[in-house]
Amino acid sequence: MESWPWPSGGAWLLVAARALLQLLRADLRLGRPLLAALALLAALDWLCQRLLPPLAALAVLAATGWIVLSRLARSPRLPVATRAVLITGCDSGFGKATAKKLDAMGFTVLATVLKLDSPGALELQACCSPRLKLLQMDLTKPADISRTLEFTKTHTASTGLWGLVNNAGQNILVADAELSPVATFRNSMEVNFFGALELTKGLLPLLRRSRGRIVTVSSPAGDMPFPCLATYGTSKAALALLMDTFSCELLPWGIKVSIIQPACFKTESVQNVDQWEERKRQLLANLPRELLQAYGEDYVEHLSGQFLHSLSQALPDLSPVVDAITDALLAVQPHHRYYPGHGLGIMYFIHYYLPEGLRRRFLQSFFISPSVPRALQPGQPSLTSAQDVAHGPDPNPSPSPTAQ
């Protein structure tokens, strides 16, 4: 089909004018997102010129460019002024980095840590302004949460509490759901869900008064069945659904709720290889005999090796997550969900639009591809034999040629 350069030129002129205006207003930044968007528009332009009539090509390209630039535009920001924010889990990682940035911006930061003498807590004390206050809090202890609530009410009496950043969380086990003790599921729920629920509910009177913000760091593992992240993923799924519910219920009060779904970043806990090795050893030492025989020690070792390899690919720069949290706190119209990090767009597209088999294979190739359990390997005892182990020895065993 003959190409039609003039509709394409008109659409590009409109897109360029919009982009230039946004750049002059500082609503748009030059960077990889903008360059990627322009590359996609160029590909769409090529496709439209070959498949559509001139006016239809003009309409599609112009509308797509307008929508893309609207999505890339930064929402107008509210002034920091004397806003106060409570951030949980500031010993390391996203919490510590966010506390530093918000303090530098002029926020009054209340930062909770597990230990006041932890390296992260001491670092915050040394490098931040006197406005930043450290609070010791363990989300599994109601007394700690109650003390934090009272401290927050007292120290925000004059300014009000503008925001809560639910960042604290933990992932303590990487294993199949069947291999994961029920106690591990409960522990993950206590920290990642119930602790955040209790703290958020306790602070809602202050947040309703300020018509403030709730920002919660969740995980794509709460949206997709990542292999061997059942304990962590189920708790994050519950947390995300809770925040979606709060988002609807608190809308009349003027409270805006955002969820951060980051890719894998190199936080301190991610890089602690010795910690993951120790947890693997504890898992193997405490596995019931039947499960150890059915899956095999090699299976668990393989999972651990693949997990550690995936962590080695984690992103070193935490600023995309910190920027997303900051935008959720200060944007006039914050997004309900943020996806900081590379590759998440493709991952979610595959998860929502491709067949289940392809989704499963993608997650296995991207994260962990489990090996074949021992009981399913050729030459091994059948599943029936493996199940018989769980029921105990045969009361009338046949003589064994090797019995002593």
φ, ψ of residue 258 to 5 degrees: the values are -125, 145
Half-sphere exposure of 226 (CA within 13 A, CB side): 29
CB 217 within 8 A of CB 353: no
**What sections of 106-229 are H helices per DSSP?**
119-127, 142-155, 182-189, 196-210
Distance separating alpha carbons of residues 296 and 377, to the nearest angstrom = 10
What is the spatial distance between Cα 11 and Cα 163, in angstroms, rounded to a whole number? 41
Q: How far is CA 260 from CA 56, 80, 167, 173, 310, in A?
A: 37, 21, 9, 22, 21
Active site residue 352: no
Measured distance CA(324)–CA(327) in Å, rounded: 5
Residue 283 vs residues 111, 153, 171, 181, 393: alpha-carbon distances, Å: 33, 42, 14, 9, 25
In whole angstroms, give the CA distance from residue 277 to residue 134.
Answer: 31
Q: Which residues are catalytic?
A: 232
